[in-house]
Chain A
Amino acid sequence: MDLGELYQEIIIDHSKNPRNHVVLENYTHEAEGYNPLCGDKVHLYINMDNGIVEKISFQGCGCAISQASASILTQMASGKKLETIVDIGERFRDVLTNNSSNTDDFESLDALLGVKNYPMRIKCATLAWHTFTEAIGSCNKLHTGDKNE
């Protein structure tokens, strides 16, 4: 079993020095993801403006994989279009669970693909991305609310 494939340097680095590890002063959306089986927690704070992720940060605790994944998510998402991140998140989950191989624009997320061979750890890697979708869910509701007004 090649542990190096799972714990790549970039993963260890992100887990030890998480990026954007603060609570945003102003945020429009947030959600907390929790995995009761292993206790991993990721709390995302997102400041959305006009379909762009202006700023994003997280707090949390858990294994290296869950925290590195959250850190990488915040790094990648910052300044990007919401739909781009949603698309990457969906494909990331697909690659880990459904044998898909479309990894376009994965950037540092590539480093997490080793998780594929560790079925017990896939939930750790996808937690932050599920949490992102959840946060955005509240976003969509807000937008519809706006339109109706």
Chain B
Amino acid sequence: MSKVMSSLAVNTKIQSDFPVLSREVNGSKLVYLDSAATTQKPQCVIDAITHFYTNYNSNIHRSAHTLGAEASIAYDSARAKLAKFINAKHTSEVIFTKGCTEAINLVAYSWGRKHLKNGDEIILSEMEHHANIVPWQVVAKETGAIIKVVPVTVDGILDLRYYKDLLSEKTKLVSLIHVSNTLGTINPVKEIARLAKNYGAKVLIDGAQCGAAMPIDVQDIDADFYTLSGHKMYGPTGIGVLHAKKNLLEEMDPYQTGGGMIKLVDFNETSYADIPNKFEAGTPHISGAIGLGKAVDYIQELGWETILEIKQSLYQYGVNRLKNIDGIKLFGHKDEDTSVPVFSFAVDGVHPHDVATILDSMGIAVRAGHHCCQPLMRNFGVPATARASFSIYNTKEDVDVLVEGIKKCLEMFS
């Protein structure tokens, strides 16, 4: 009993941390089920950004004045927080980017173009986000490398046997999504990375959906590259992280060039700054990094134990209620131990867009579309799905409201 009370209290507190949740949408209380697209922001993150612009806005690493020093310290300390958050060996292995997309593009440009050769193979999977497909296609076209794809089974998981068969001496890179933004599947990335290493291949893990989902230990996973998206972990948009092993970053060429990433410039030659600055040309997103640092503080103050407990109970409750509705098809989710509460579904006879509009009329925000995963949609045989993705500020009541909404869709089109 006391446990129930306390988890209720925790939930109420968390909800009150996110100011947007108290607004109404179309006459109903907002039920935000689109956290896989972007999470809402807690007041402390909003305040940290406002505080920067209100009290110590300045450029970093260039100005000797007090504001410049304060801004530089805050920016550097955000990097240190992120490094600790993912257990990076060195703080300098954390590069701030504008998001996961830019982090992957950076690797494709600075590592891929240098190291991939004609006939080399890149392994991706069918559940990749377009952000982890298109950059590799571009590099493959330039270098003559070949893309191989690990299929997704009907259970919504990677076909690991197929993956093992794909691996060979030709494999130079394995680039995979950690947690699927469409299916909620958690992939066994540590095992995947270990197998790739046997062939000397480099490994990139797209952790966009992971920052808010589970503790990340980049040394334990032992991938060469790991990417994060700030706005999907309670931080602001326009900021993300590339983690890469120090020796790799040191030998890679810069991604963009200009100010902030140099040691010495004359018109004949320029020597580049040490990492991480080498990969952060121009004025970075200072307030974004500070906001993301605060988001990491927020996650750590809540604690993974609490977060995982909330998400697991939402997952169990959600999957059971959704599975029991006649007239919907839930994609994936056969393997309940390895999923986060992200549900892609089709409602019989009702197109996902109509589902989203009908739910919106009840204040429920879901995403309808291909979720930037057109190859995966083809595997399912549908052009689009509706997706409800839950986060720590959601409740079982939100699941109930969603179920009511889906029933209303079925009724309207019956």
Interface size on B, residues (CB 8 A): 19
B349 contacts the other chain (CB 8 A): yes
CA distance A45 to B385 in the complex (A): 28
Which residues of B (350-375) have their CB < 8 Å from a CB of A? 350-354, 357-358, 360-361, 368-370
9-residue interface stretch from A1-9, A19-27, A51-59, A104-112: A1-9
Which of A6, A38, A118 sits near B369, CB closer than 8 Å?
A38
> Is the CB–CB distance between A38 and B26 below 8 Å?
no
With CB as the reference atom, state the residue of chain A lying closest to B361: A1
Give min CB distance, B147 to chain A, whole Å: 22
> Is the CB–CB distance between B353 and A38 below 8 Å?
yes
Give min CB distance, A67 to chain B, whole Å: 8
A70 contacts the other chain (CB 8 A): no
CA distance A90 to B413 in the complex (A): 30
> Is the CB–CB distance between A1 and B27 below 8 Å?
yes
Give min CB distance, B87 to chain A, whole Å: 39
B119 contacts the other chain (CB 8 A): no
Give min CB distance, B291 to chain A, whole Å: 28
CA distance A60 to B354 in the complex (A): 16
> Is the CB–CB distance between A16 and B349 below 8 Å?
yes
Residues of A within 8 A of B369 (CB): 37-39
Q: With A16-B349, A63-B354, A124-B353 given, is the CB distance from A3 to B370 under 8 Å?
A: no
Most buried by A among B351, B358, B368: B351
Give min CB distance, B341 to chain A, whole Å: 24
> Is the CB–CB distance between A62 and B351 below 8 Å?
yes
Q: With A12-B413, A37-B369 given, is the CB distance from A6 to B384 under 8 Å?
A: no
B383 contacts the other chain (CB 8 A): yes
With CB as the reference atom, state the residue of chain B lying closest to A118: B357
Most buried by B among A16, A38, A61: A38
A44 contacts the other chain (CB 8 A): no
Residues of B within 8 A of A1 (CB): 26-27, 360-361
Q: With A12-B412, A12-B413, A39-B369 given, is the CB distance from A63 to B361 under 8 Å?
A: no
> Is the CB–CB distance between B413 and A64 below 8 Å?
yes
Most buried by B among A1, A37, A61: A1
Residues of B within 8 A of A40 (CB): 353
With CB as the reference atom, state the residue of chain A lying closest to B28: A1
Give min CB distance, A18 to chain B, whole Å: 13
Residues of A within 8 A of B384 (CB): 38-39
> Is the CB–CB distance between A61 and B358 below 8 Å?
no
> Is the CB–CB distance between B368 and A38 below 8 Å?
yes
> Is the CB–CB distance between A62 and B353 below 8 Å?
yes
Residues of A within 8 A of B368 (CB): 38
A121 contacts the other chain (CB 8 A): yes
With CB as the reference atom, state the residue of chain A lying closest to B412: A7
A65 contacts the other chain (CB 8 A): yes
Which residues of A (65-110) have their CB < 8 Å from a CB of B? 65
> Is the CB–CB distance between B383 and A3 below 8 Å?
no
Residues of A within 8 A of B351 (CB): 62-64
Residues of A within 8 A of B360 (CB): 1
CA distance A121 to B357 in the complex (A): 9
> Is the CB–CB distance between A16 and B358 below 8 Å?
no
Residues of A within 8 A of B383 (CB): 39, 41, 61-62
CA distance A32 to B383 in the complex (A): 16
Residues of B within 8 A of A39 (CB): 369-370, 383-384
CA distance A98 to B288 in the complex (A): 38
With CB as the reference atom, state the residue of chain A lying closest to B363: A1
B interface footprint on A111-133 (CB within 8 Å = 1, 0 otherwise): 00000001011001000000000
> Is the CB–CB distance between A16 and B354 below 8 Å?
no
> Is the CB–CB distance between B361 and A65 below 8 Å?
no
With CB as the reference atom, state the residue of chain B lying closest to A12: B413
Which residues of A (35-50) have their CB < 8 Å from a CB of B? 37-41
> Is the CB–CB distance between B26 and A7 below 8 Å?
no
Residues of B within 8 A of A64 (CB): 350-351, 354, 413
CA distance A60 to B349 in the complex (A): 15
CA distance A118 to B356 in the complex (A): 12
Which of A37, A41, A61, A65 sits near B354, CB closer than 8 Å?
A65
CA distance A1 to B28 in the complex (A): 10
A–B complex contacts, Cβ < 8 Å, 28 sampled: A1-B26, A1-B27, A1-B360, A3-B357, A3-B361, A7-B354, A7-B358, A12-B413, A16-B349, A38-B369, A38-B384, A39-B383, A39-B384, A41-B383, A61-B383, A62-B353, A62-B383, A63-B351, A63-B352, A63-B353, A63-B354, A64-B350, A64-B351, A65-B353, A65-B354, A118-B357, A121-B353, A121-B357
Q: Sorted from nearest, which 7 A-B pairs have the closest CB atoms?
A: A63-B353, A63-B351, A1-B26, A1-B361, A39-B383, A64-B354, A3-B361
Q: Which residues of A contact B (CB under 8 A)?
A: 1, 3, 6-7, 12, 16, 37-41, 61-65, 118, 120-121, 124
